Structure 1
Amino acid sequence: MINVKAKKRFGQNFLKDDSVLIEIIQSMPHNDNHLVEIGPGLGDLTKKLVKCKDVTAYEVDRDLYSILQKEFQSELESKKLNIILGDVLEQWNKNNSLYNSKYDMIANLPYYIATNIILNAFDDVKCEHIIVMVQKEVADKFTASCGDKEYSSLGVITQLVSKEAKTLIVVPPESFNPPPKVDSAVIYIKKDLDKSVSVGFKKFLKGCFVQPRKKLIKNLSAFHNKKLLIDIFEELNIPETARPHEVDASLYSHIYTKVTNNGREQNATC
């Protein structure tokens, strides 16, 4: 491995466990999609990805970008690899996508930006599969189901926009250099490209989970008429005592549609 000191401001922890890289590669779907990698770091995962498909990688660290340019000179010349220097979130803001055709995202994401990257990938209509390593706590939230204590707005959104979401492997701190203070996990999400959630629905969910251990109807009463909510809960057979983590994702969609239309379920979708 190239001896480079990790930079805290970029949330860098370099993966040194080759077995985890192999697990990621083996979990990749067999399709014709392009590959996008975010934060290639020292290129350990990149080396395996370019053996499978053409790759577009986004790297924000100028020093690492220079190292990668030398390390992958032949792959860059043959167009197997394209490395873009810059902030991936700025790319999304500018072009709404990270590639010009359907792609799968495979990456070891920095903790500080992982949630935003996954949520942007959900909104990116050209991104189909997401296989990323994140902090285990974040992984648990994205893959949680109704009734799980980790179930939050992230779990609701994931269930509404995906066909499958699961944790592939838990990765201990000693698999990295420097080791983080917590466990990591690789998650796999297969999106349903026909589904999406609106900005309004995301805002609605934020209100639903603002105090996750309180009753859902109490959280919503801060933003919506309580009498209307009681009627909606009764119609949808949701107990007034239900906590946010006890309500299924599909029901959140119905509640949102009804409160948006004063109790009627029409012309508003999540």
Structure 2
Amino acid sequence: MKRVRAKKYLGQHFLNDLDIARRITESLTTPPSQVIEVGPGMGVLTQFLLQRSDMDLHLVEIDTESVEYLHQHYPQLQKRIIEGDFLKMDFKKLFPDKFSIIGNFPYNISSQIFFKAFDNRHQVHSVVGMLQHEVARRMASGPGSKEYGILSVLLQSFFDVEYLFTVDPEVFTPPPKVQSGVLRMVRNNVEQLPCDERLFIRVVKAAFLHRRKTMRNSLKKIAFNHEAVMHLPVFNLRPEQMSVQAFQELTQLIQDHPLCE
């Protein structure tokens, strides 16, 4: 079977540089036995992952043409090639134990993949992925940066996030219009936040919805006793000025001052 045709609607950009492919796979350190490769395409990462003896590899691919190619070129993975949408997978049914995720992620769903990892944070050990440079930088950025945002705070609450290296467009077919970046995140030892996690997510999302506003203005629609705490200095800050810990402490403060009936 000849090469798979890259499909724009799937955000496919096939990596051609084997040295970069090797670097990406080597960045997945001490994974649990189960590893999921997302969007393997023609298997440029797969070939290196198969050389490792420390993993039980599964491939998830939505493109029928790529699935056919993988079956022909990697017959040893016949029963481990899953045709379907990664974003719709029920990990608790398919992979009851902890697992890692790796891939040259389709650009049009790269953020959603990391939100999916966050939603399944108690199962996901680590993620190594190539995605748009700007998005990768955003996830790894800290307070004080214009790139710091919702995903930065949410992911860094449960994962150690590290931007690894930049990849130029010319090593892809077709070349993307932007640079790519390789990101690694590894689960930290936080099992539960010191605040209500659902409220924490609401606070973070509300804060960055209008990132130029202060917390006082951004959190107006969240129900709590505003009068009791709005005088505190934290409400004068903008979201990019607040650390992950500060967001957790603010959430706890809101919890401690419910709206009086």
- TM-score (structure 1 length as normaliser): 0.85
Deviation at 1:201, TM superposition (A): 2.3
1:257 paired with 2:242, answer no
- Of 89, 92, 110, the match for 1:114: 110
Matched to 1:245, the amino acid is: E
Check the 8 A contact 1:209/1:216 in 2, yes or no: no
Q: How does 1:181-196 map to 2 (within 5 A)?
A: 181-192=177-188, 194-195=190-191
SS in 1 for 2:153: helix
Check the 8 A contact 2:32/2:125 in 1, yes or no: no
1:157 paired with 2:154, answer yes
Deviation at 1:242, TM superposition (A): 1.6
Matched to 2:82, the amino acid is: I
Task: Work out the percentage of aligned pairs sharing the same amino acid.
Answer: 30
- Alignment match, 2:176: 180
Compared with structure 1, are the counterparts of its residues 34 and 139 closer, same or farther at alpha carbon in structure 2 (3 Å cutoff)?
Answer: same
Cα-to-partner distance string for 1:87-116 (whole Å, 9 max, x where unaligned): 112213xx4465232211111111111111
Deviation at 1:209, TM superposition (A): 0.7
- Alignment match, 1:16: 16
Unpaired runs of 5+ residues, structure 2, are none
Q: How does 1:191-210 map to 2 (within 5 A)?
A: 191-192=187-188, 194-195=190-191, 198-210=197-209
CA distance in 2, matches of 1:13, 1:31: 26
Matched to 1:134, the amino acid is: L
Compared with structure 1, are the counterparts of its residues 98 and 123 closer, same or farther at alpha carbon in structure 2 (3 Å cutoff)?
Answer: farther
CA distance in 2, matches of 1:259, 1:145: 23
Q: 201-210 or 176-185: which moved more?
A: 201-210
CA distance in 1, matches of 2:209, 2:93: 30
Deviation at 1:229, TM superposition (A): 4.0
Check the 8 A contact 1:122/1:196 in 2, yes or no: no
- Alignment match, 1:76: 77
Matched to 1:26, the amino acid is: E
- Alignment match, 2:236: 241
Cα-to-partner distance string for 1:10-69 (whole Å, 9 max, x where unaligned): 111101111211211222213543211011111111111111132111000111111111
Q: How does 1:87-106 map to 2 (within 5 A)?
A: 87-92=85-90, 95-96=91-92, 99-106=95-102
- Alignment match, 1:268: none
Cα-to-partner distance string for 1:103-162 (whole Å, 9 max, x where unaligned): 111111111111111121123222101111111111111101111111111111122111
Q: CA RMSD in A?
A: 2.2
Check the 8 A contact 1:131/1:187 in 2, yes or no: yes
CA distance in 2, matches of 1:39, 1:31: 19
CA distance in 2, matches of 1:161, 1:217: 26
SS in 2 for 1:207: helix
Deviation at 1:260, TM superposition (A): 2.8
Q: How many aligned residue pairs are there? A: 252
- Alignment match, 2:123: 126
Check the 8 A contact 2:33/2:56 in 1, yes or no: no
- Alignment match, 1:142: 139
- Of 61, 64, 68, the match for 2:63: 61
